[in-house]
Amino acid sequence: MPEASYPEDLLYHEEHDWARIDGDSATFGITWYAQDSLGEVVFFDPPSVGAELSQGQSYAEVESVKAVSDVIAPLSGKVLEVNEGLSQTPETVNQDPYGDGWLVKVQLSEPSETESLMNAADYQASLA
Amino acid sequence: MSAEARWFTAAADDELTIYERSKPGRRAFTAPELDVPERPLDELLPAALRRADPPRLPEVSEPEIVRHFNRLSKRNFDLDTGFYPLGSCTMKHNPKLHERVAALPGHAKLHPLQDPSQAQGALELMWRLQEALGEIAGLPHVSLQPSAGSHGELAGVLLTRAFHEDRGETRTKVLTPDTAHGTNPATVTMAGYEVVKVGTDASGNVDLDDLRAKANEDVACLMLTNPSTVGLFETGIEEISKIVHGVGATLYYDGANLNAIMGICRPGDMGFDIVHFNLHKSFTQPHGGGGPGAGPIAVSDRIEPFLPLPQVVRRDGAPGNGAHGPYYDLDYDRPKSIGRLRGFQGNYGVFVRSYAYIRSLGAAGLREVSEVAVLNANYLLARLRREGVAEYLPAAFDRLCMHEFVLSGAPMKRELQIKTLDLAKRLLDHGVHPPTVYFPLIVDEALLIEPTETETKETLDHFAEVVAGILREAQADPEVARGAPYTTPVRRLDEAAAARRPVVRQPL
Amino acid sequence: MSRYTSVTNADLQEMLAEIGLDSVEALFADIPDRLRLNEPLALGGGRAEQEVYEELRGLAGANVSTEDEISFLGAGMYDHYIPALVDSILQRSEFLTPYTPYQPEISQGGLQAMFEYQTAISELTGLAVSNASVYEGPSAVGAAGYVAKLENGRRRFVVSEGVHPHSRQTLATMAHGWDVEVIEAGLADGRTELPALDDDVSAVIVQQPNFFGVVEDLEPIARAAHAAGALLIATCDPLPLALLKTPGECGADIAVGEGQSLGNRLDFGGPSFGFFAATDALLRRVPGRIAGETRDVDGRRGFVLTLQTREQHIRRERATSNICTAQALNALGGVIYLSWLGQAGIVDLVTLMLQRTAYARERLSRVEGVSLLHEQPVVREFAVRLEAPADRVAARCREQGINPGYPLGRDYPELADCLLIAITEQRTRTQIDRLADALGAAVAAERHPAGVSA
C-alpha cells in the first residue's frame, strides 16, 4: 500500500498495531507505518490457536529481508484464528495491512483495555 | 556513466551450475585398482544399511571443473583486485608468502592426532604465536582454540561464567554497548545470559552515567571494543574498567578493532580481563569469501584457570625421558577448564599465516600498521571533506577518528533522495567495494569506512573523488544511483523473493 | 615503511597537511598517556621474506607429516588424496581474498559456489536444506543442539558414547550455558544402546559411522526419538554417506559432520569445515549463512545470502547462532572435490575403502596379539585390541615409519590397549601388509622385551 492510511474504525497501540473490535472478539494487525518501516515482509511467525495474549506483550514476529520485528498485542485475549494465507503470501501485510494482511483473531479477555488505545487521529499525531 | 565494463562478459547471462554442466558418464576421478580380494557387498554392508541410489553429484571431467570455477571466479570482486573499505572488517593485503609456508607439507599434511613428540614444529609455532599475541594484548595467557571472532566471544563469556561460578556466584546479565556488533548479543544469549544495552553519548563514547546505572552485582561482564565500532577511542576506558571491576564483573575486549592500537597501547593495560583476536582481520588470514578465520583469546591471571583445553605449553624436556631442553606439549590437566570448544587444536593453517606475518613485521612493523591505519582513515575523512561530501555525508562524530569512521547518509537521503544503499550500489559500478552499510545501528543511514594501512594515498584519493562524483550525479538525477549497479554480472537482486520462498539447493 | 604499506615521506607530509596535524603522534591524542606504550613490544625485529620462509620451513621440518610416514591415523580427520585442481582453484585471488558476500552483485562466484555446495551436502545427507558451512565437526554438533533447544525448549540431550569425544566435550561446554543436561547412552558391542526416553529429551545425538567405525542402525533410533517428541541429530563422516542409507532417509532431523575428508588439508586439525543439513521444517532455525536463488531486476538468475534474519547481524540476541565468519573457502574446496569425485566416482572411492578396510580387518585379526574390538559392519575405520599397551606399540611402529592408528586410551581409559585404524584410498594392500607385520612385531616386542631401550 503506497500511501499512508489509518482507518477511522480501528483502534491503535503505540507499538504500531491496530485492533478491529467485533463484539467481544477482535482482529489484530500492524499499521501502515510498521509495514513501511519493515520493508517487504517475507515471513510471519504466528502464535498457535488457543494461545493467550497479554496487552503490550509480543505474540509473534514479522520479518522482512533486513529486519525482524516483534508484534505487540494491543489487547489481551485468546487466539481464535491465525491468518494462514500469510505463509504463502506474506507480502499481503504490505499490500493490505488492514484487510487481507490481518494477523490474528482473538477472543478478548479484558474488553475495557480498549480505553487505553488511541484513535486514528491520535495515533497519526503520535507518528509526527 | 564513467565505469568501464571490467567484468568478464562472455555471456552477461546466467552461468550454468555445475549440475547443469553435468552429463551422465563424465568423470574426473578414477579410483586406484582394487588390490585386495573383492568380497560381496552384502557381506560387508547389509542392504538394509545401504542407500538405494548414490548421491546425485555432478558428472564432469577435470577441464570442465576448472573452467566452471574459473568462470565463476570472474564474477567475484576481490581484495587482490580492488579496494575494500569495509568498516570493522580490516580488509588489508594478504601476503603471498603466507600461502607458500602454509602449503609446506610439514604443516599442511600433519595429522592433528600425531604424537606431540612428532609435532614439535607445530606446537612450537603455536606456543610462539601465543606468546606474541599475549604480548600484543598485554595479557599473558592465550588459547588459540576458538575458530573465529564470535567463537572467541563465546569462549570469553563462558570463561566469565566459569569465573563467577568458581566464586559461588550466579549472575544473569551481560552488558554490551548499543553500538556493538551483532555477534556480541547473539553470543551472550548462546552463553545463557540476558543482554542489557548501554547507551552511547554524544561524543561517541560509552555513556558512563548509563553504565553506572546498569552495572550491579547481577552483571557478569561488559563486552566492549576499543576503539569502538564508531571508530573512536574510549577515552573513559579506565573509568569504565573501575566501574565494571567495582561490581565484580569481567571486562571483555572484542578485538575486531585491534588494527588501530598495536604497539601503541594494550587492552590488558586498559583493564580488560579477556581479549579476542580476529586473525582474519589484523593478522592477514585471507577472508576466503566468508572464512576460514580464527579467534584466539588472551586472558588475565584470574581467568587463566578456566581456559579451554588442551592448552599448548612449553615444558623442560619431554615427559618421562629425563632430558632437558624445551618440549612443546598439549596440556589436558586443567581441572577448572571450561572444556573444549571444538575438535583438535584449532585452525592451525591460520596460525601458520599469522605467525609468518608477525615474524615478518616485528614490533616496529606492527606499530607502523596501526599508525598508518589511523593515518589513512583520518586522511580519507579529510579528503572526503575537501571534496564537499560532508554536506550530504557528514561524519557522525566530529572528532579525530582512529582506524575507521562513520558517516551518516541521512542528509543525503533527505536532500538528494538517494539512500546509503543506493550509494553503495553505485560504487560497485566504479570497481570499488562499498563500505559497511547500516552499521552501527545508532547512526542513521550509516556508512562505516576502514581503509586499512595497505592502501596507497592514490587509492584513497580516487575513492573520495568517486564518492563526490556519485553525489553530484545524484543531484542531477537520483534515479541513476537508485537503479545501480549497471555493469556488474547481475544487477540488484530480489532478496525478498529469496526469503519468502527460499530455494537453497538445485532441484535434480 | 614495511613491504605491505606505501606511505612515503612525501605522502606523509601531504596527508598530515590535509588532516591538519603536525605528526603521526598527534593522531593518537585521545589515548591517555598512562596507557601509551613507551617501549616496543617484545616481538623482535621484522624480517625479510626469505628469513621468515626459512624459519617456517624449519618448523615444518620438525613435524612428521603423512608424507614422512605411512599413517593409519583417523578419528575424525583422514589422509585422503587431494587433487591438484582443488588448490589451483582455491588459490585464485577471486576466491581466496574477497569478503563475505554482503554485496551479492559482485559476489556471484562465491554465492553460486555456496549454492552448489549446499546441493551436494543435501544429496549426501538426504536432507532438504543445507547451510553454507559452519566451523568444523564438533562445534556443528553443539550448534545442532542449540537448534534443538530453540525448537522444543526441552532440557536434556541423550548423546551416544559412540559420538566423537571432541564432539561430546564441545557439546558439554556449550550446553553448560543453556541449562541443558547431557546424558550419555552407552554402546553394546560397538553400537548405541538407547535408554528409555522421556518427554524432557530435546535431542538424541548419534554418530554415523560411530567413533569406532561401526555403522549404526539409525532407523530405530529415529523412531524412538520421535516417539518421545525429541529430534534426532546424526553427526556423520561424509564419504561413507555415499554408500550408507542417508540420515535423512533414516529419519534424522539434523545431519552435521566434519568436512575435512572432502578436499581439505589435515593442517594439524584446521581450518576445515563443518556441514549442517536439516529438514525443511527446520529451515528458519538453521544457523550460519545460506545462499538462495533469485532473479535480478533484468530477470537474470542470481544468488544471495538469504534468510539473514536468522543471523546475528540482524536478529542479534535472538539469533539462531552467533556465527559470522564461517569456512567459505574450505566449503568451496569441498564442492570442488565432490565434483571431482562425481556421482560414480564417490561410490568407487568409498567401495575401494570398504574393501581395503575389510582386508585390513581380516589380515590384522590373524596377527598374533591382535584381535578385533567389534565385528560389526564398518566402512573405513575399525578398532583392534592388542595384547600390550597401545601407546607403546604405536611408538614402536612409528620407529618403522608406520603410524598404526589412534591409541584409544586417551579418550576411553578402559581401552588403553586398543587402536583405532583408518583406511583411506591412499593406504595400499602393501602398506596394510606392512602394518600387520609392524603391529605383530611391536606387540611381540612389548610382551617379551629383550633389553630394549626406554
CB contact under 8 A, C314 and A43: no
Chain B hits for C110, CB-CB cut-off 8 Å, are 76, 289-290
Question: Within 10 A of C56 (CB to CB), how many other CB atoms are there?
Answer: 25
First-last CA distance in chain C: 53
Contact indicator for C257, C273 with CB cutoff of 8 Å = no
Any chain B CB within 8 A of the CB of C183?
no
Rounded CA gap, B126 and B350, in Å? 10
Residues of chain B with CATH 3.40.640.10: 97-315+324-357
Q: Which of B400, B393, B391, B387 is nearest to B434 (CA)?
A: B393
Question: Where residue B374 falls among pLDDT bands split at 50, 70, 90?
Answer: very high
Burial of C30 (0-12, 13-18, 19+ CB in 10 A): middle
Answer whether residue B183 shows pLDDT above 90: no
Render pLDDT for B126-178 as a digit per residue (tens, 0 to 9). Answer: 999 999 999 999 999 999 999 988 899 999 999 999 999 999 999 999 999 98
pLDDT of the residue at C451: 55
Alpha helices in B337-436 (DSSP H): 348-386, 410-416, 420-429
Contact indicator for A18, A74 with CB cutoff of 8 Å = yes
Cell of B249: 564483573
pLDDT of the residue at B9: 46
pLDDT of the residue at A37: 85
Cell of B246: 567495582
Nearest to C314 among A43, A45, A68 (CB): A68
Q: Distance (Å) from the C-alpha of residue A65 to the closest C-alpha of chain C? A: 7
> Rounded to whole angstroms, what are the CA distances from B472 to A17, B482, C45?
40, 14, 48
Question: Where residue B14 falls among pLDDT bands split at 50, 70, 90?
Answer: low
Cell of B274: 579477556
CB contact under 8 A, A42 and B496: yes
- Ramachandran region of residue B310, left (φ > 0), alpha (ψ -120 to 50) or beta? beta
Rounded CA gap, B440 and B448, in Å? 8
Query: What is the three-class DSSP state of C87?
Result: helix
Global ipTM: 0.96
Chain B hits for A85, CB-CB cut-off 8 Å, are none
Average pLDDT, chain A: 92
Return the residue of C nearest to B428 by Cα.
C106
Q: Distance (Å) from the C-alpha of residue B271 to the closest C-alpha of chain A? A: 35
Number of H helices, E strands in chain A: 3, 9
CB contact under 8 A, B496 and A63: no
Q: Which CATH class is domain C84-336?
A: alpha beta
pTM of the entire structure? 0.94
User: Which residue type occupies C206?
Assistant: V
Sheet holding C129-130, edge to edge: C129-130, C274-278, C254-258, C231-236, C201-208, C156-160, C181-185
Query: What is the three-class DSSP state of C429?
Result: helix
Question: Within 10 A of B38 (CB to CB), how many other CB atoms are there?
Answer: 10
Exposure string of B408-418, with b = 16+ CB inside 10 Å and e = fewer, is bbbbbbeebeb
Question: Within 10 A of C412 (CB to CB), how many other CB atoms are there?
Answer: 16
Least confident of B13-22, B33-42, B354-363, C250-259: B13-22
Beta bridge partners of B408: B446
pLDDT of the residue at A67: 78
pLDDT of the residue at B129: 98
Please provide the CATH number assigned to the domain covering B97-315+324-357.
3.40.640.10
Question: Where residue B7 falls among pLDDT bands split at 50, 70, 90?
Answer: very low
Contact indicator for B166, B336 with CB cutoff of 8 Å = yes
The per-residue pLDDT string of chain C (454 residues; one tens digit each, 9 = 90 and over) reads 688 999 999 999 999 999 999 999 999 999 999 999 999 999 999 999 999 999 999 999 999 999 999 999 999 999 999 999 999 999 999 999 999 999 999 999 999 999 999 999 999 999 999 999 999 999 999 999 999 998 999 999 999 999 999 999 999 999 988 889 999 999 999 999 999 999 999 999 999 999 999 999 999 999 999 999 999 999 999 999 999 999 999 999 999 999 999 999 999 999 999 999 999 999 989 999 899 999 999 999 999 999 877 776 766 767 667 666 679 999 999 999 999 999 999 999 999 999 999 999 999 999 999 999 999 999 999 999 999 999 999 999 999 999 999 999 999 999 999 999 999 999 999 999 999 999 999 999 999 877 555 4
Chain C hits for B188, CB-CB cut-off 8 Å, are 317
Cell of C28: 593518537
Chain C hits for B345, CB-CB cut-off 8 Å, are 268-270
User: Which residue type occupies C410?
Assistant: R
In DSSP notation, B449-498 reads: E---TTS-HHHHHHHHHHHHHHHHHHHH-THHHHT---SSSS-SB-HHHH
Beta bridge partners of A72: A58
CB contact under 8 A, A43 and C318: no
Chain C hits for A68, CB-CB cut-off 8 Å, are 309, 314-315, 318
Q: Which of C79, C223, A65, C269 is nearest to B494 (CA)?
A: A65
pLDDT beneath 50: ranges in chain A: none
Render pLDDT for C345-392 as a digit per residue (tens, 0 to 9). Answer: 999 999 999 999 999 999 999 999 999 999 999 999 999 999 999 999
CB contact under 8 A, A65 and B438: no
Cell of C204: 538424541
Answer whether residue B11 shows pLDDT above 60: no
A 45-64 residues with CB < 8 A to B? 63-64
Answer whether residue B322 shows pLDDT above 90: no
Task: Give kind and range of the element (H or E) at residue A43.
Answer: strand A41-45
**In degrees, to the nearest 5, what angle opens at C-alpha C354 toward C-alphas C246 and C409?**
90
Query: What is the three-class DSSP state of C280?
Result: helix
Burial of C452 (0-12, 13-18, 19+ CB in 10 A): exposed
Q: Which of C303, C317, C307 is nearest to C286 (CA)?
A: C307
Q: Distance (Å) from the C-alpha of residue B69 to the closest C-alpha of chain A? A: 29
In DSSP notation, B255-309 reads: GGGGGGTTTT--HHHHT-SEEE--TTTTT----TTT------EEE-TTTGGG--S
* Residue C210 per-residue DSSP state: -
pLDDT of the residue at B321: 65
Question: Within 10 A of B502 (CB to CB), how many other CB atoms are there?
Answer: 21
Rounded CA gap, C112 and C120, in Å? 12
Return the residue of C nearest to A64 by Cα.
C309
Average pLDDT, chain B: 93
pLDDT of the residue at C324: 67
Cell of B97: 608468502
Q: In this predicted model, which residue has the larger pLDDT, C304 or B13? A: C304
pLDDT of the residue at B203: 85
Contact indicator for C132, C321 with CB cutoff of 8 Å = no
Burial of B359 (0-12, 13-18, 19+ CB in 10 A): buried
Contact indicator for A95, A1 with CB cutoff of 8 Å = yes
Rounded CA gap, B138 and C41, in Å? 9
Q: Distance (Å) from the C-alpha of residue C186 to the closest C-alpha of chain B? A: 21
Q: In this predicted model, which residue has the larger pLDDT, B320 or B433? A: B433
Which of C286, C290, C309 best probes binding to A when mutated, by most A CB atoms within 10 angstroms?
Answer: C309
Q: Which of A17, A21, A14 is nearest to A110 (CA)?
A: A21
Radius of gyration of chain A (CA): 13
For C371, phi then psi, to 5°, come to: -140, 160
> Rounded to whole angstroms, what are the CA distances from B279 to A11, B133, C92?
54, 10, 21
The count of CB pairs under 8 A between chains B and C is 711
In chain C, what are the helix, strand and coil shares in percent, each to the nearest 5? 45, 15, 40
Q: Which of C318, C335, C232 is nearest to C275 (CA)?
A: C335
Chains with at least 3 CB pairs less than 8 angstroms from chain C: A, B
Share of chain C above pLDDT 90, in %: 91
Q: Which of B374, B378, B354 is nearest to B263 (CA)?
A: B374
Chains with at least 3 CB pairs less than 8 angstroms from chain A: B, C
Fold for A11-123, please state it: OB fold (Dihydrolipoamide Acetyltransferase, E2P) (2.40.50)
Q: Which of B411, B506, B391, B402 is nearest to B451 (CA)?
A: B402
Query: What is the three-class DSSP state of B316?
Result: strand
Q: Distance (Å) from the C-alpha of residue B453 to the closest C-alpha of chain C? A: 6
Q: Does residue B485 have a cis bond before it (omega within 30 degrees)?
A: yes
Cell of A60: 509473534
Chain B hits for A40, CB-CB cut-off 8 Å, are 496
Nearest to B360 among C46, C394, C398 (CB): C46
Rounded CA gap, C151 and B112, in Å? 34
Q: In this predicted model, which residue has the larger pLDDT, B64 or B4? A: B64
Chain C hits for B59, CB-CB cut-off 8 Å, are 342-344
Sheet holding A68-72, edge to edge: A41-45, A58-64, A68-72
Beta bridge partners of C418: C385
Q: Which of B369, B364, B346, B294 is nearest to B95 (CA)?
A: B369
Any chain A CB within 8 A of the CB of B504?
no
> Rounded to whole angstroms, what are the CA distances from C104 to A66, B90, C90?
14, 20, 20
Q: Distance (Å) from the C-alpha of residue C187 to the closest C-alpha of chain B? A: 18
Q: Which residue has the cell 599465516?
A: B353
Q: Which of C160, C239, C241, C192 is nearest to C423 (CA)?
A: C239
pLDDT of the residue at C158: 98
